[in-house]
Structure 1
Amino acid sequence: MTTPPLLNYAYTTTPVPLQINATGAGITVVASNPGIYSNDASTNYVEVTSIVISFGAPGTGGSALTSDPSGITHAAPDGWSVDVTGLQFTFKPPTANNGNRIFPSDGLEFSFSGIAINGATGTVDATVNETASSPGGTPPTFYPPQPREMRTQIDGLGKFPAEFSIQSFSASPAAVAPGGATQLAWVATTIANSSFSLIRTYQGQVETITQHGNGTPLSATDTYPNPGKGDSSKLRINGSTTFTLQVVFTSGGDVIQAQDQFTVNVPAPTIDSFTATPATGLAVGDAVTLSWATVAAELVTISPPLDGLHTETTLTGNKTVFPLDFTRYRLTASGQGLNVSQSVVLFPMTPGWTTQTSKAPWAVNQVPMLFALDDILYLYPGQPGSTDNPAYSSPDGKNWLLVNPNTDLSHRTGAALANSGSSVLVMGGIPAGGSAAQDVWATTNGVTWDQITSSAAWSARSGAQAIYRSSKYWLMGGKDSANRNDVWSSPDGNTWTQATAAAAWPARSDFSLVEMGGKLYLFGGNGDSGLLNDLWTSTDAISWTEISIPPFGDESPAARSNAVLYGLSSKLMLYGGTGAGGALNDCWFWDSSSNWVHTNGPSVPAGAANFAATQYNGGNWLMGGSVGTDFGKGVWVYAE
């Protein structure tokens, strides 16, 4: 018993079918990946070592194809090589750059032309010996790997009388949505002692739809599926389906078959959209409308269930939910044995400050690094007493997971960080046991890092600030041998241009920087003459204007370094930092009408400093904080 190949192989001939004594005949073999080996697009391939195609050897009477194989020319896909021995053709794919990996979207065509067909009706064995493997998929939908071995398929190519041909075989439409119908049409020469069948092939399953006996005119149309002919619902066109018109001719005891094929395509399932309105800035119990649209899906599920009971839902629709806590809705569209998924995160928050946890699993060494990517928070706390730089992640600030015990990015203090939304850059800072650096590192997944450059155009420094805006990364200030007030920009973190050598604000390090309403705001830091509490703004990061604080008894924050500065919807919020007397735990609001107003801060330990902060999912996050040698494990979030 032969093992069928991993690829599907289909034959077409010119003429259709092959006719005896034809000159210049052609045979085309199309190989395709049926797309059933993995639910992961990146591993849904067949890795081919060789494909050997051979035809009945010459001199074997009724089974011979041609007595002159030397006249045959052949063609293979780009990059493939071929060895020819008589009527055996050995095709080998390119191995460089994974060129031997055949994905469902790849088309392979092997053609043979200039064939002088022998003069006896009969059947020619067309044999494919395929040596290939497939890596299989991953849970939850698991497809076992297929080992590399030879697999064989043998088909019969009929040689018919010269007066017979299949003139056309087609389907309209040629592409349908899952469950759709198509009209098949065919025209063939009427010939005695013949019959024909209509055959359907879907995901490896072969089924005869209709059979027509001798004397039936070979010119007809048919709709598929056809309820009037008893087609059951399981015969719907749910995935790309190959229809075969097969003709059987009987002459002198020989039974000869020929066929023509047409594939009706159904696109692979895709998720056109899956959105939440509003997506962020939610209070507990707010109404949120989930909306989704899929293409070419047979089944759509959303988990957790939108009605509390049933995960299966409509292919396109919307539903209002009232989230009370962090919820990740996952939509899965299924079809043709494939699944595609997309998630929407709803994270309602209570207005004001909320303590998410006071017992996070990490220990903060000095000032941690914190950022958000792809709906996940990432914290780099350093490692007390070690140069290791572990990475932790959390979707909600409560539940934390160690995702990398020691990343390639060395832990450092005073580094500048900028987040484009798709990647995060870390610039400069002082690595453990070292001096100020001028390197740039990047991550696109929050866990692994690549060094962009070890020597940026700006001087090695720490205590700088960075931000991403107007499609550029901006780095400013900090301290090398002295405090700086230069401003640099880069489109990629590698090529840097100095925007100004001296901004209007005095040189400083360990200051605070944020964007709000299209403007940049800069506060405080360590200046040449001590701690600062001035506030500056800019629309382009180059030209800056100081914001005056009225001198008529209005309160204002004390001078400080390393304060946390958030940009809310219409006001700034300033928290903590280190003042002349040590750690500060005060909290302030600022807007252009009321200037600075003292407000309530989070319930952090008294005397805590060295916090990490970021904005994520409509909330303003604060983490860590150390008191002497006691490193903080707290996570707080502020929502408007």
Structure 2
Amino acid sequence: MFNEAMRKIVLLIIAVLLLLLAGFAAWKLIPGDTMEPEPTPEDLGEPAAAADPDSLAWTEAPNIPWSPRDSHSAFVFKDALWVLGGLNANDSKINPVTPDYTRAVYFNDVWRSEDGMNWERVAEHAEFPPIRSASVFAWKGALYMVGGFSPTGGGYRVGMWRSSDGEHWTKIRTDPPFELREGQVVKVWNGGLWLIGGVNYDTRKLFTDVWFSEDGANWRLVTPDAGWAGRWDHDVAAFGDKLYVAAGMGFEGEGFNDVWATSDGRIWEQLTPAAEFSKRQGGGLVSWKDYLWLISGLDAKTNEGLGDAWYSKDGTSWTKVPKDASWLGREDGSMLVFRDRIWVLGGMDSDWNWNNDVWYSEIKNASGAVLN
């Protein structure tokens, strides 16, 4: 009798355990009867993990040692941020808003930083002449310089230069295959280097051409006329599988706010003749956090520097970040992505003063968590 009672108790316990296990399985199992961990928002692709573009904010890096300047070159090379060249007209103004560029100070120094905050001077006077509006880019383990203007180094005939370390430079060509110019843009895209637009004030010519290079020294013409109005001080960025051109300036100070895109560098499509941002030149266009960003520049109507930022998913429709940057609006600073942040370096502000300040971006997700 005792054994029979014990047997019933054991059977009852087993039945209860089976019911509990069945309930647990019904709660945890997904279709297909396989046990899997709970998915994270990132697994589901939920927007909470994505950047909230309206949260863009800026922080200033302290104590920058290089001189105030604009029209300089900034680039990323060997996992560091670099600045070289440019000009400073703070001490050569005819009046508070009219600089005399013939008396401006031009630079041929080279600076390097591993974090954007602590800088070392690599060269006080590099082999290339003091220069403005040159394009410097890293390609296949070396740096190349094309275009630009030097008042003491041959005007527009500054040659093409190469460096393997950023400190020592060698002239690789006296004259490029394209017409001499400044204010052009060179971008790495689609397996090579692309040179776009520019201006030559000696010949009074604006350029609408596009050139391609596989080695930084030899260039071939892709198209003599891309279809957009000739311009310089324009903005170019690679985004997705396309190259984009926005903004810029013509001869008479007229600005642009059109946006164009290409899939091959030869045929360009106008995405919008007049984007939501104002006509401007000397700003920056970068690809970051799954958006195109257009930042700052000189407003063509008010002739004042801008501190705004705009973002777009397609280059056609643009949305303004609600809060402008803390810096005085400016043109001809350098804007680029380094260590997953946008960096803004130097430039001339809306009070017509040249600056050496450095700012970097911060952005949050929809939950308010900082992403960088």
Shared fold per TM-score greater than 0.5 = yes
For residues 356-401 of structure 1, the C-alpha deviation after alignment (integer angstroms, 9 at most, x for no partner) is: 4142011123322111111111111546565542211111111111
2:318 is aligned to 596
Q: Does 1:409 align with 2:128?
A: yes
* Cα 1:517–1:435 shift into 2, 3 Å: same
- Tell me the SS of whatever aligns to 2:156: coil
Aligned residues: 286
Instruction: State the shift of 1:593 in Å.
Output: 8.9
In structure 1, what is the Cα distance between the partners aligned to 2:87 and 2:134?
A: 16
Q: Is the 8 A contact 1:383 1:390 kept in 2?
A: no
Q: Is the 8 A contact 2:70 2:355 kept in 1?
A: no
RMSD of aligned residue pairs (Cα, Å): 2.5
TM-score, normalised on structure 2?
0.70
Q: 1:496 aligns with which of 216, 219, 230?
A: 219
- Tell me the SS of whatever aligns to 1:525: coil
**Aligned counterparts, 1:89-108, within 5 A:** none
For residues 21-54 of structure 1, the C-alpha deviation after alignment (integer angstroms, 9 at most, x for no partner) is: xxxxxxxxxxxxxxxxxxxxxxxxxxxxxxxxxx
Q: Does 1:527 align with 2:246?
A: no
Instruction: State the shift of 1:568 in Å.
Output: 1.7
Q: Is the 8 A contact 2:59 2:361 kept in 1?
A: no
1:380 is aligned to 84
In structure 1, what is the Cα distance between the partners aligned to 2:59 and 2:138?
A: 25
In structure 1, what is the Cα distance between the partners aligned to 2:80 and 2:284?
A: 21
In structure 2, what is the Cα distance between the partners aligned to 1:383 and 1:367?
A: 6
Instruction: State the shift of 1:629 in Å.
Output: 6.1
Q: Does 1:547 align with 2:271?
A: yes
* Cα 1:593–1:516 shift into 2, 3 Å: closer
Structure of larger gyration radius? 1
1:400 is aligned to 119
**Aligned counterparts, 1:299-448, within 5 A:** 352-382=56-86, 384=88, 386-420=105-139, 422-433=141-152, 434-437=154-157, 439-448=159-168
1:454 is aligned to 174
- Tell me the SS of whatever aligns to 2:243: strand
Instruction: State the shift of 1:570 in Å.
Output: 2.2
In structure 1, what is the Cα distance between the partners aligned to 2:75 and 2:109?
A: 14
1:331 is aligned to none
* Code of the aligned partner of 1:562: G
Of all paired residues, the percent bearing the same amino acid is 24
- Tell me the SS of whatever aligns to 2:281: coil
Instruction: State the shift of 1:618 in Å.
Output: 1.7
* Code of the aligned partner of 2:195: L
Instruction: State the shift of 1:471 in Å.
Output: 3.1
In structure 2, what is the Cα distance between the partners aligned to 1:632 and 1:524?
A: 23
- Tell me the SS of whatever aligns to 1:592: coil
Q: Is the 8 A contact 2:282 2:297 kept in 1?
A: yes
Instruction: State the shift of 1:403 in Å.
Output: 1.8
* Code of the aligned partner of 1:585: G
In structure 1, what is the Cα distance between the partners aligned to 2:214 and 2:85?
A: 28
1:515 is aligned to 238
1:93 is aligned to none
TM-score, normalised on structure 1?
0.42
Instruction: State the shift of 1:635 in Å.
Output: 1.1
More helix by share: 2
Q: Does 1:486 align with 2:209?
A: yes
In structure 1, what is the Cα distance between the partners aligned to 2:146 and 2:248?
A: 18
Q: Which has the higher contact order (CA 8 A, sep 6+)?
A: 2
* Code of the aligned partner of 2:112: S
Instruction: State the shift of 1:539 in Å.
Output: 1.4
In structure 2, what is the Cα distance between the partners aligned to 1:507 and 1:577?
A: 18
- Tell me the SS of whatever aligns to 2:228: coil
